[in-house]
Chains A and B, each alone.
Chain A
């Protein structure tokens, strides 16, 4: 085996994120068609890349049934019109699906078996509500292997509040409001134009263009947030306002080796430095990014202070706050989620990871002096994922 090779992130794109369910804009759109849309857009934006030179298409989904059921990477490749010679596969690590697609693709590149990989994720939570068709092993209950709250993500967020009483509902609401405000600004400043591709979708009202995230609430106030019910526990702290809604969306990114970059005139934006996945108590799944972050930092030989930009998923405000608490990062720190997060844009489970990478890459371009950045998220059943990237400023 030769030396491992460098892996570059070139470009990434997503659909707008829609509200899951019959009222959402993607209700009558197939999940795999959403994947097709982002793959074709990515190719359109990188015209130097001949489709037949793509070596692998990796697509994640949590629910691998129905319109997400046919080995998505291959299914989407064929439907997108990629040559039949381009292979593909599907992965699942729930919320870390897309990031796992990226690390799987990166592995192929690093090992020298691929030069160019498409990696992303799709989750149509309207068509595939969480846990649907999952047949939980009765041993979980019979042997008390995990706390029953572990399968309800909102309940795990309540558990985080229990574990870390210093993180109050007021803190979570305040964080959620800032996330909405930052997202609103981001829709003005270009990051979304760069990373979101509009898609025409058929709806009950005929065709329309899905161009903007449906969960945005730029005008939300602390008073509004304080009024919301707490569906996971009477008297609880987790509300629809301080968590990400159930979302439909698709993402994909382009990864390449050094050779792939130069052969196809691609512009590398980020270099993969290290990554870590880690497990925690399933009922406190929101803590997952803490050990994952530490693992990725250790592998990179970096300290947290040396990281200039963080893209953290925001399934629940308290989840981000728990990460901030663990690392002593101020939730208002300008390095953290400069364009808002999932509380504002939504969280289509297995698709989210590449949204984080696309925004991280955009953040690097806005901050040429920034050197390292990290994307991290927590995963159901008690896991975390963290990927550290190095900025590759334009012209590098």
Chain B
């Protein structure tokens, strides 16, 4: 029995990737397997990790030739595992992603642990396709419908992954085993195969028409991507090929061609850049202060509107500390409490905790029309209407009621944090439970401990802070407002709303501008515009149509009839966005273009294949044409006072 471990020699916090070293190691191992007198092979990973796929840090340099060679090397080596003359079993003990799935599929059979929580082919999410046999072997093993879901649909749905039991249920593994004796039982299974012969090799026969499944999948992609990202379409073609009589060798060649085309391409490069931003860069986020944060054991929230209630629920769930809410309206407080309790009940329904815990958390909420319960708060977040005067009054009153070291924060989406008298801005994005971004707004007087505490709280809330300077509308709203202005301008000049929406959707944004406007609320959007207009009247003219919407009038303020083509609308939008990003970089609102992209990826759910947006603007020459240099080179250092 040959027992082979995929192991990079590091602990479980550093998963094993298939970089060059791993492939060389496999190449050295294979002759021993091929020439030895083995009864069976069990291939498994180090504790808690099977294999986490290719080493994407090796990707950015890839040319077409290198990409093809890398793909071919995997086909050749994994193919030799498939050819071994004795039963081979992949014992999937832990995280198994991308190339990990593919090497496992080259074995005769698979066992998987009930403890596995990450089983997926995320390649399409990163702008490429599985190119070590995944697109060919997955449909052969589990059928075309599951293959499409696994290889194409899941990666495009926020990179959804399967658990061990789910993977087993779908047919990826022959045995689902408890973790306690996982490897012993996997070995026993391999010996059983060696003794009794295998019963596993019946490939999947599909009742569904391949063409029909592919057609529907392509339709769903069109709805989501509008053709903006080529990788998932390419993956569909490869799966279709696998189901229409390609030999495995033909499939391998097609994968090689596909990845040779995709990996050096714009979308893959942007996706890898975006992944780097939200994954690796986020582990040591620039701007995080070194100061020791203060403990936060009680939170105050001023306001009891929808956003305030969402925030209260978030604080309760993640910090599990008492939350005091204050509003002048008793009715608003009552409905906020109801909303919080129903959010907690949703957590119970999801099995996150039991009724008792939900009851306890609900009991931590206190509501009042006064400030007396704020006396022992460590942090107070203001979430009242976006009225500068009202906010100034709130902070003046707060100062009188809180202890000296209490941090006063605002959730304003556009107003000056400094002017209202807050210590720091913590700007959340709607829906609060979904979007991971917070813009942490530093004013000239924000001290290190305050910033560190706000940062720590944001992270405890499992949010991702991007540090910004106190400037009108900060980053995301400022950029989105420029974009929306182009759309509304087109509408005012005679384009239909649908034309304008579709023009922008060609980028593959998650929602049409008109839908976004409804979600944000025309009142809020118009308010942001007014704030920006006040600061930058040239770049942010007021829009009568938006003002109408804000007042509840569904009335377009038509101007001269000069409709644009969709291409013109898109170009105008891209130029407006690029222009605004250049301004905010030059003003030092954030340290660099990467921060803008991180904010758009996490706060507006802009797609990976645009790399946020500056990557796309740089790749397509928009920035070069406008400023003579890429946005990646514009910047003025870290945001400071």
Is B truly associated with A? yes
Which A residues are closer than 8 A to B by beta carbons? 138-139, 142-143, 158-159, 161-165, 233-236
Determine the distance from Cα of A381 to Cα of B321 in the docked complex, in whole angstroms.
Answer: 26
Contact with A along B101-120 (1 / 0, CB 8 A): 00000000000001100000
Q: Do B115 and A142 touch (CB < 8 A)?
A: yes
Closest chain-A Cβ to B399's Cβ sits at a distance in Å of: 23
11 pairs, CB–CB < 8 Å, chain A vs chain B: A138-B48, A142-B115, A143-B114, A143-B179, A158-B360, A162-B359, A162-B360, A165-B360, A233-B320, A234-B297, A236-B360
Q: Do A234 and B356 touch (CB < 8 A)?
A: no
Tell me which of A138, A163, A233, A235 contacts B356 (CB under 8 A). Answer: A163
* A229 nearest in chain B by CB position: B297
Which B residues are closer than 8 A to A by beta carbons? 12, 47-48, 114-115, 179-180, 297-298, 319-322, 354, 356-357, 359-360, 363-364
* A164 nearest in chain B by CB position: B356
Residues of chain B within 8 A of A163, CB atoms compared = 354, 356
Closest 4 pairs between A and B when the two form their complex, measured CB to CB: A162-B356, A234-B321, A235-B322, A234-B297
* B363 nearest in chain A by CB position: A235
A142-B115, A233-B320 given as contacts; is B298 within 8 A of A165 (CB)?
no
Q: Do B298 and A161 touch (CB < 8 A)?
A: no
* A160 nearest in chain B by CB position: B356
Residues of chain B within 8 A of A164, CB atoms compared = 356
Determine the distance from Cα of A164 to Cα of B47 in the docked complex, in whole angstroms.
Answer: 39
Q: Do A142 and B48 touch (CB < 8 A)?
A: yes
Determine the distance from Cα of A162 to Cα of B358 in the docked complex, in whole angstroms.
Answer: 8
Determine the distance from Cα of A233 to Cα of B179 in the docked complex, in whole angstroms.
Answer: 33
A142-B115, A233-B320, A234-B322 given as contacts; is B356 within 8 A of A159 (CB)?
yes
Q: Do A139 and B360 touch (CB < 8 A)?
A: no
Residues of chain A within 8 A of B180, CB atoms compared = 139
Residues of chain A within 8 A of B298, CB atoms compared = 234-235
A165-B356, A235-B364 given as contacts; is B297 within 8 A of A143 (CB)?
no
Closest chain-A Cβ to B300's Cβ sits at a distance in Å of: 13
Closest chain-A Cβ to B320's Cβ sits at a distance in Å of: 6
Closest chain-B Cβ to A231's Cβ sits at a distance in Å of: 11
Q: Do B321 and A161 touch (CB < 8 A)?
A: no
Determine the distance from Cα of A164 to Cα of B356 in the docked complex, in whole angstroms.
Answer: 7
* B12 nearest in chain A by CB position: A138
Q: Do A162 and B179 touch (CB < 8 A)?
A: no
Q: What 16 additional pairs, Cβ within 8 angstroms, besides A159-B357, A164-B356, A165-B359?
A: A138-B47, A138-B48, A139-B179, A139-B180, A142-B48, A143-B114, A143-B115, A143-B179, A161-B360, A162-B356, A163-B354, A165-B360, A234-B298, A234-B320, A234-B322, A235-B321
Determine the distance from Cα of A138 to Cα of B360 in the docked complex, in whole angstroms.
Answer: 29
Closest chain-B Cβ to A146's Cβ sits at a distance in Å of: 14
Residues of chain A within 8 A of B359, CB atoms compared = 162, 165
Determine the distance from Cα of A165 to Cα of B114 in the docked complex, in whole angstroms.
Answer: 34
Closest chain-B Cβ to A302's Cβ sits at a distance in Å of: 32
Residues of chain B within 8 A of A158, CB atoms compared = 360
Determine the distance from Cα of A335 to Cα of B319 in the docked complex, in whole angstroms.
Answer: 42
Residues of chain B within 8 A of A234, CB atoms compared = 297-298, 319-322, 364
Determine the distance from Cα of A233 to Cα of B48 in the docked complex, in whole angstroms.
Answer: 31
Determine the distance from Cα of A236 to Cα of B48 in the docked complex, in whole angstroms.
Answer: 35
* A236 nearest in chain B by CB position: B360
* A163 nearest in chain B by CB position: B356
Closest chain-B Cβ to A264's Cβ sits at a distance in Å of: 49
Residues of chain B within 8 A of A235, CB atoms compared = 298, 321-322, 363-364
Closest chain-A Cβ to B185's Cβ sits at a distance in Å of: 15
Determine the distance from Cα of A234 to Cα of B377 in the docked complex, in whole angstroms.
Answer: 12
Closest chain-A Cβ to B48's Cβ sits at a distance in Å of: 6
Determine the distance from Cα of A236 to Cα of B320 in the docked complex, in whole angstroms.
Answer: 10
Residues of chain A within 8 A of B354, CB atoms compared = 162-163
Determine the distance from Cα of A384 to Cα of B363 in the docked complex, in whole angstroms.
Answer: 30
Determine the distance from Cα of A236 to Cα of B115 in the docked complex, in whole angstroms.
Answer: 33
* B179 nearest in chain A by CB position: A143
Residues of chain B within 8 A of A159, CB atoms compared = 356-357
Interface centre among B179, B356, B357 (most CB of A within 10 A): B356
Determine the distance from Cα of A161 to Cα of B354 in the docked complex, in whole angstroms.
Answer: 12
Residues of chain A within 8 A of B48, CB atoms compared = 138, 142
Determine the distance from Cα of A235 to Cα of B373 in the docked complex, in whole angstroms.
Answer: 13
Tell me which of A139, A142, A143, A162 contacts B357 (CB under 8 A). Answer: A162
Closest chain-B Cβ to A369's Cβ sits at a distance in Å of: 41
Closest chain-A Cβ to B54's Cβ sits at a distance in Å of: 24
* B178 nearest in chain A by CB position: A143
Residues of chain B within 8 A of A165, CB atoms compared = 356, 359-360
Residues of chain A within 8 A of B360, CB atoms compared = 158, 161-162, 165, 233, 236
Closest chain-B Cβ to A233's Cβ sits at a distance in Å of: 6
Residues of chain A within 8 A of B319, CB atoms compared = 234
* B322 nearest in chain A by CB position: A235
Residues of chain B within 8 A of A236, CB atoms compared = 360
Determine the distance from Cα of A236 to Cα of B180 in the docked complex, in whole angstroms.
Answer: 36
Determine the distance from Cα of A142 to Cα of B354 in the docked complex, in whole angstroms.
Answer: 21
Determine the distance from Cα of A161 to Cα of B360 in the docked complex, in whole angstroms.
Answer: 8
* B321 nearest in chain A by CB position: A234
Closest chain-B Cβ to A124's Cβ sits at a distance in Å of: 31
Residues of chain A within 8 A of B356, CB atoms compared = 159, 161-165
Interface centre among A138, A159, A162, A163 (most CB of B within 10 A): A162
* A144 nearest in chain B by CB position: B115
Closest chain-A Cβ to B325's Cβ sits at a distance in Å of: 14
Determine the distance from Cα of A162 to Cα of B362 in the docked complex, in whole angstroms.
Answer: 11
Closest chain-B Cβ to A283's Cβ sits at a distance in Å of: 10
